[in-house]
A and B are shown apart, each in its own frame.
Chain A
């Protein structure tokens, strides 16, 4: 899966961008009170975007 992930990152800039945004989230961030609306919206969209979203890509491996 790591090989496929690296291939996707290198060949699909939109997915790479969504991954970049998503990877900065951590479990601790759930309790953050300083996240801005713009940051929250970007994270939500990076995860859920139908095309090139992180969740869409991950579902290929379920």
Chain B
């Protein structure tokens, strides 16, 4: 089993690398990723890898988490992976993602945009590292 990356208070290079690796595996597994970012939750004081994908509202998150877990299990030993407990799946039309998308857009690939201490449409974003927002 691949080793899980330690999710620290400060976004680390290991976290960024493991997040990018997961998105790459999701892409290769034909899992639709419309948005992916590490997001810092100020109140909870923790980072989560947020993945936005269509159909979660209609099917519920359970199936999506199962699919993500299956893809995580394919990450080879020797490579670090993000633990499922540090991932949040949301619908592609999630309100926060839509607001973020109104300010930032990326291409289909895997980008690396740091977005810190900014307010969009009245929503304060303490810190985020954006891989994809389409």
Interfacial residues, chain A to chain B (CB-CB below 8 A)? 9-10, 13, 16-17, 19-21, 23-24, 34, 36, 38-39, 41-42, 45-46
Could you say which of A9, A39, A42 contacts B84, with CB atoms under 8 Å apart?
Answer: A9
* Residue of B58, B62, B87, B95 with most partner-chain A CB within 10 A: B62
When A and B form their complex, what is the total count of cross-chain residue pairs whose Cβ atoms lie within 8 Å?
51
Q: In the assembled complex, how far is the CB of residue B44 from the closest CB belonging to chain A, in whole angstroms?
A: 8
A10, A38, A41: the one contacting B57 at CB < 8 Å is A38
- B95 CB, min distance to chain A CBs, angstroms: 7
| 14 further interface pairs, Cβ-Cβ under 8 Å (given A16-B85, A21-B65, A45-B62) | A9-B85, A10-B4, A16-B69, A17-B66, A20-B61, A20-B89, A23-B85, A23-B88, A24-B90, A36-B57, A36-B58, A38-B58, A38-B59, A42-B62
Q: Is the CB of A24 within 8 A of B88?
A: yes
Residue contact B83 to A9, C-beta cutoff 8 Å: yes
In the complex, chain B residues whose CB is within 8 Å of the CB of A10: 1, 4, 83
The reply to whether the CB of B56 lies closer than 8 angstroms to some CB of chain A is yes
CB nearest to A13 among chain B residues:
B69
Chain B contact residues, majority secondary structure: helix
Q: How far is the CA of A17 from the CA of B66 in the complex (A)?
A: 6
| Cβ contact within 8 Å between B60 and A42 | yes
Q: What residues of chain A lie closer than 8 Å to B66, measured between beta carbons?
A: 17
In the bound assembly, the distance between CA atoms of A19 and B59 in angstroms comes to: 18
Interface residue count for B (Cβ, 8 Å)?
20
B1: nearest chain-A partner, CB-CB: A10
Query: What CA separation (Å) do A45 and B60 show in the bound complex?
Result: 11
**Residue from the set B4, B85, B95 with the largest chain A CB neighbour count within 10 Å:** B85
B61 touches A34 (CB 8 A): no
The reply to whether B69 and A39 form a contact with Cβ atoms under 8 Å apart is no
Shortest Cβ gap from B84 to chain A (Å) = 5
